[in-house]
Amino acid sequence: MGEIFMAALQPVQGLYDTAVFLALLALLFMLLAVMLRLIYLRGSRRQIEGYLCVVIGVFFWTVLVYVLLYSGQIRKLPELYNKGIPLYYLLAPAAYFFTLYSLFPQGSLKPRLLWLHLLPFIFGLIDILPYALASRPDKLQLIDAVIQDFRVSYTHSYGFIPQKWHYIIKTGLAFIYLTAQWRLVYLFDKNNSNVPGFYKPYVMSFTIFYTIHILMQSSVILSLMSNQLQANFILQDLNQMIWFSSYFFGFSLWMLFSSIFIIRQNNVKINAINPS
């Protein structure tokens, strides 16, 4: 894996080099953000932040495959490609439940009808089987086609349904969950809640970053549906790559510094409850 990342960092030309470097930094910051939360948080706060760790994990996978594809290093690990479909279905519900239990933590921290929220994930898990069971030469053939034309990643036939429908379905579900998520932020009133007031700006900043991601994803989906040539330009243009990498880098910084912030606040709460 180290060789792959070093190869990705080999000097090429300006924008490409910068974009890949920012994406690799984002991967590092995301990994640190998850580790800090899992190591230093305890009790119910750790459970709540666990939903955010799922979100960070999905973004980590997204950026990892993004770097491997743009650098061409995915050819060395073709088994990693197309495995993210079920993970992407976890993103929206995990973001929603993180917001719900951060602002309204009453009762159980386990969602009711959890199986219903996991159905798309299971559906995605089944749909990656054709590619997972394909021979390595077939996988490499698909990857070469994707590297040459990124539209192939949305249109290939390795699955039980056309791939574009996964992107349409997950984006539609994301908007439903996101609408409910913003409603939770709007309804929260720190004056009528035992939840500390700083949780609202904490959750709101996360929701803003997440909303930007959904809007970026939606713009690509709409471009694919309306103008495939334009969509391919967007997916392979280095200027667009810089914007995507900058977004991931910025969000990863939030993930890292928010983990430090929430750990400090959690420790202050614990010290107040159990003074030495």
Q: What is the per-residue pLDDT across 117-158, written as a single tens digit (0 to 9) for each?
A: 999 999 999 999 988 888 999 999 988 888 887 777 777 778
Distance (Å, whole) CA 68 – CA 75: 8
| 203 pLDDT tier (thresholds 50, 70, 90) | very high
Q: Which residues of 240-252 are buried (b: 16+ CB within 10 A; e: fewer)?
A: ebbebbebbbebb
Q: What is the pLDDT of residue 145?
A: 86
Place of tokens 């190869």: 7
Q: What is the pLDDT of residue 118?
A: 92
Which conformational region is residue 43 in: left (phi greater than 0), alpha (psi within -120 to 50 degrees), or beta?
left
Q: What is the pLDDT of residue 197?
A: 83
Three-point CA angle 239, 244, 247, nearest 5°: 125
Q: What is the pLDDT of residue 271?
A: 54
Distance (Å, whole) CA 3 – CA 182: 42
Report pLDDT digits (tens) over 218-242: 887 777 666 555 555 445 566 677 8
Which conformational region is residue 268 in: left (phi greater than 0), alpha (psi within -120 to 50 degrees), or beta?
alpha
Do the Cβ atoms of 158 and 82 come closer than 8 Å? yes
Distance (Å, whole) CA 266 – CA 195: 12
Q: Half-sphere exposure (CA, 13 Å, Cβ side) for 45?
A: 21
Residue whose C-alpha is closest to residue 211's, from 234, 233, 236, 180: 180
Residues above pLDDT 70, as percent of the chain: 84
Range 231-259 average pLDDT: 80
Rg (CA), the chain: 20
> Which domains are delineated in the chain?
2-269 (1.20.1070)
